[in-house]
Structure formats: structure tokens, C-alpha cells
Amino acid sequence: MDTPKTAEFAHIGKSVIVKGDLTGSEDLYVDGQVEGSINLQGNSLTVGPNGQIRANVSAKTVIVQGKLEGNINATERVDFRKSAIAVGDVITQRVAIEEGAYFKGKVDIGKPESPGGRSEFKTDRDTVSPVANRAAAGTGSPIPGVTGKTPVTDIKKV
Amino acid sequence: MASVAHSFMKIFRGSSAGPDQIAAPAQKSKRLTRRSSGLAELAKSFASEEPLCVLDLGSTSAANIRYLTGRGHKLYSEDLLVASTEPSLATKDEAGKPALDSKRFLSDNLAYGPGQFDVVLCWNLADYLDESLVKPVMGRLWSLMKPGGMLLAFFHTHEAGPDAPCYRYHIVEGDILEMHHVDPRREVRKGPTGVSHTTIGTGVRLQRVFNNRHIENLFRDFSSIKFFLARDHIREVLVIR
């Protein structure tokens, strides 16, 4: 397990519960519970296997081995290990997900939140699919061989 | 003769992971690759410069995230099969038979705005999802998709047999999928009383086999359906909202 040396990381042990906003300028390892928000601009957050986070997280790198509910904004990388359970949206440059990790949410690559700025999480905009737009300009269907608006079935042996 | 057979097979190549499937480099870890004609059709949309909003309902896949976000698309990931194993969903239907609470399931999952997605990757979800959730989930997906949006789903044929393994699908490139067998895993879940239980999943089993008529009924609200019959006992279905 990737438990860091405590001298290198600030460490929240598994019996510790923190409620509120957590801000720091050093790397943080959380094996306990945190509710609120975590802001470690330029530093990394590691959620240990016993860690349970219910917070929006902003950091350079986020490594999740435990449970994290909340949005993640990582300027560099997000790493979900195989025991990770993560629910929330992710904005980062790179994502690594081990086989077996559970993730529910949106992934947005390459658009980290600017310092002090607002989150770039947005709801999606168009009401008609670009796929449909393209179809409208052509055959009426984006699938070759399928046309028209009434239900159409096309069976193809390949 | 061999060349004739070879030419013949070339004509019918496409969605296939039969005996001639592409050699998998890591057989020990139950990784296979297959060509997917349905994905090939979708890949034309993925090649678009216009950013698409994609919902992946299979197991979380770094490969799919990399493939789709690398092309500038937005990806939402939600593993509905795992979500359906939530013990507190257990209830009984009108006949008193065990079922899952579809209303509660849909309040906890697929909670997006209407008309949000251009593409939905269903993979083999319908084959393994509990009967009580299949139609409600497809109904919700219809409402979440934009008009003209596309949905890709895989269905086993009868020949696959009841023990057909469940795979998670990773997009390798335009029409190539890598398939990983879904292994049993230890899961910690909260029960109805709030107490955490650790269970060892026994894997998921094929719940039913849809024939063409069933599939057409399942997607009857959609505007069109295209089937791709593969040699590995899989029907690929590409549906347009």
C-alpha cells in the first residue's frame, strides 16, 4: 500500500474526523474522514484506503485509494487506485484508473480551474446532437443505410 | 480454395471475436480484443471536431476516458451494473416476487438533465441488469439523449449460453475493443440499517437473452435501430434517438 512517510506528508489518521474547510501548502495524506472542502494548491492529496472524503478537492495531484465524494480539480493528475470509490466530477490534465476502481461522474481533461477562479464545471449546452446536425445536412440519419424518422430496423451480417 | 475462403471471410469480417479473433497479448488476465462494427460507426462521430457529450455506462475505463477526452469530447462515467447491486434496492413486485426498486434506482442514478448526451455507450448492460430495471433505464436514457443521439448496446444470442461471461469494454481504437472479464470483487456497502457489510461478489450472470423483436420493443421510442450480427454470439445494436 502507498502509505507515505509521515515526515513527507501531513497525515490525518484513520480515527480522525475533520469537518470544515481544509487548506494547506504541503502534501496531505488522509486516512480518516473529511467533510467540507480541501484546497492544496500546488500540492498533492492522497486518500488512503480507510479515507472517506465528502468534499470538493483542489490540488495538484489527487490519489484515491479510499472513498471520495465530491468534485476534484487537479492541475496535474488524478489517480484512482483499484480500491477507489469516487463519485463526483473531475477536471484535470491526466487520469489514471486501475482496474476495479469505481468512478461515477464527469471527466474533463485539460481544463483545470484557474487559481481563485470559478469552477469550470458546466452543464451541457446544445439541445440537438451534433450527430443529428450532421445527419440533417446529409441523409437524415448519421447511420449509413438508415434513413427517415419512423422506426427503422436494419440488420446487417458482418 | 483457401484463398476463396479467405476472401469470403474478408467480406464478412467486422464485429467478431470468434475463433479468429485478434490475438490477445495477455490471455492470462482474460483480455480479449474484438472488432466492433457498431463502434466503427460511432467512431465516425467521435472523429468530429464538434465536442460530443458521451455517457459510458460500463465499468470505469481509463482507456475510454483517454480515447474520448483525447478527442475533445466530454465523458460521463456511471457503472450501472455495480449500482444495481446496492442491497437497499431490494423490494418485491406486485406479484410478491423479488425485484429491485426502479424508482429509487433512477433517483440515485442517471440523474442528468434531459437531452444532454450525444452518445450513450451501453455495452452489455441490458443483458446483465435486473429485469425490473431494464425498461425504466432505457426509458430514462431516451430522455437523457439529444434528438439524433446514438446508443450502442450489445446483446447475446441464445448460442452464447447462460454462462456467457460479463466483460468490461475498453476502446483501443476506431473499431477495436479490448474486453476484460469482470471478476468477482470484494465490496463494502452500507445496508439498510447503515451498517457496512463486506461481501464478495460472485460475478454477474446473464439475466436473459433478447431476440430481435425484444430489442426492437426495448428501443421502440427511438427513431431507428441498426443491427450488426457478429460471429461471437453477440448482436451489436446502434440506436438513434
Give B83-110 as a DSSP string: HTT-GGGEEE-TTS-EEE-HHHHHHHS-
Q: Give the pLDDT band of residue A154 (cuts 50, 70, 90).
A: low
> Which residues have CB under 8 Å from B123's CB, separation 6+?
B57, B58, B152, B153, B154, B167, B168, B169
Q: Give the pLDDT band of residue B30 (cuts 50, 70, 90).
A: low
Q: What is the pLDDT of residues A15-35, one digit of tens each?
A: 999 999 999 999 999 999 999
* Alpha helices (runs of H) in chain B, residue ranges in sequence order: 2-11, 37-46, 62-69, 80-83, 102-108, 125-128, 131-144, 212-218
Report strand pairing: B74-77 vs A102-109: antiparallel
Cα–Cα distance measured from residue A124 to residue B120, given in angstroms and rounded to the nearest whole number: 15
More confident: B208 or A62: A62
Quote the cell numbers at residue B175.
473499431
Q: Which residues of B touch A101 (CB under 8 A)?
A: 60
CB nearest B118 (choices: A131, A136, A158) = A131
DSSP for residue B16: B
Q: Which residues of A touch B45 (CB under 8 A)?
A: 130-131, 134, 142
More confident: B201 or B238: B238
Residue B18's pLDDT is: 42
A134:B53 CB<8 A: no
pLDDT above 70 (res A116): no
Cα–Cα distance measured from residue B75 to residue B118, given in angstroms and rounded to the nearest whole number: 10
Q: Chain B residue with minimal CA distance to A157? A: B229
Mean pLDDT of B212-232: 90
A150:B60 CB<8 A: no
**Does A111 contact B at CB distance below 8 Å?**
no
Pick among A99, A122, A133 to test the B interface (most B CBs inside 10 A): A99
Q: Chain A residue with minimal CA distance to B187? A: A83
A105:B79 CB<8 A: no
pLDDT above 90 (res A112): no
DSSP reduced 3-state for A62: strand
Kindly report the number of other CB atoms within 10 A of residue A107's CB atom: 27
CB nearest A146 (choices: B82, B220, B226) = B226
Q: Which residues of B touch A81 (CB under 8 A)?
A: none
User: Is the four-CA dihedral A8, A9, A10, A12 of positive or negative sign?
Assistant: negative
Residue A119's pLDDT is: 36
A107:B69 CB<8 A: yes
Q: Give the pLDDT band of residue A4 (cuts 50, 70, 90).
A: low
CB nearest A142 (choices: B51, B79, B150) = B150
In whole angstroms, how large is the CA radius of gyration of chain B?
Answer: 18
Q: Give the pLDDT band of residue B231 (cuts 50, 70, 90).
A: confident
Residue A144's pLDDT is: 43
Q: In angstroms, how far is CA A41 from the centroid of its own chain? A: 17
Q: What angle do CA B44, B33, B202 make, to 5 degrees?
A: 115
Pick among B37, B86, B112, B223 to test the A interface (most A CBs inside 10 A): B223
Residue B53's pLDDT is: 93
Residue A127's pLDDT is: 42
CB nearest A158 (choices: B12, B148, B149) = B12
Q: Which residues of B touch A124 (CB under 8 A)?
A: 53, 74, 113, 116-117
Residue B167's pLDDT is: 86
Mean pLDDT of chain A: 76
pLDDT above 90 (res B76): yes
More confident: A156 or B75: B75
Q: Chain B residue with minimal CA distance to A97? A: B62
Residue B186's pLDDT is: 45
Q: Which of the residue ranges B27-41, B90-104, B128-142 would you say has the lowest mean pLDDT?
A: B27-41
pTM for the predicted model, two decimal places:
0.75
Cα–Cα distance measured from residue B183 to residue B160, given in angstroms and rounded to the nearest whole number: 19
Residue of A136, A157, A156, A158 lying closest to A147 (CA atoms): A136
Q: What is the pLDDT of residues B138-164, one digit of tens each?
A: 999 999 999 999 999 999 988 777 788
Mean pLDDT of chain B: 80
Pick among B37, B64, B77 to test the A interface (most A CBs inside 10 A): B77
Are B120 and B150 in contact by the 8 Å Cβ rule? The answer is yes
Are B22 and B34 in contact by the 8 Å Cβ rule? The answer is yes
DSSP reduced 3-state for A89: coil
Q: What is the pLDDT of residues B107-131, one digit of tens each?
A: 999 999 999 999 999 999 999 999 8
A window 38-57, beta carbon within 8 A of B: none
Are B57 and B120 in contact by the 8 Å Cβ rule? The answer is yes
User: Is the four-CA dihedral B21, B25, B28, B32 of positive or negative sign?
Assistant: negative
**Does A99 contact B at CB distance below 8 Å?**
yes
A156:B228 CB<8 A: yes
* ipTM beyond cut 0.85: no
CATH superfamily of this structure's domain B29-240: Vaccinia Virus protein VP39 (3.40.50.150)
CB nearest B216 (choices: A129, A149, A153) = A153
Segment holding B227, helix H or strand E: strand B224-229
* Alpha helices (runs of H) in B115-231, residue ranges in sequence order: 125-128, 131-144, 212-218
CB nearest B60 (choices: A101, A132, A157) = A101
Q: Which residues of A touch B119 (CB under 8 A)?
A: 131
Provide the residue ranges of all domains of chain A, joining segments of one domain with +.
10-137
pLDDT above 80 (res A120): no
Are B77 and B56 in contact by the 8 Å Cβ rule? The answer is yes
Q: Which residues of B touch A105 (CB under 8 A)?
A: 76-78
pLDDT above 80 (res B59): yes
Segment holding A131, helix H or strand E: helix A130-137
Residue B15's pLDDT is: 44
Are B80 and B109 in contact by the 8 Å Cβ rule? The answer is yes
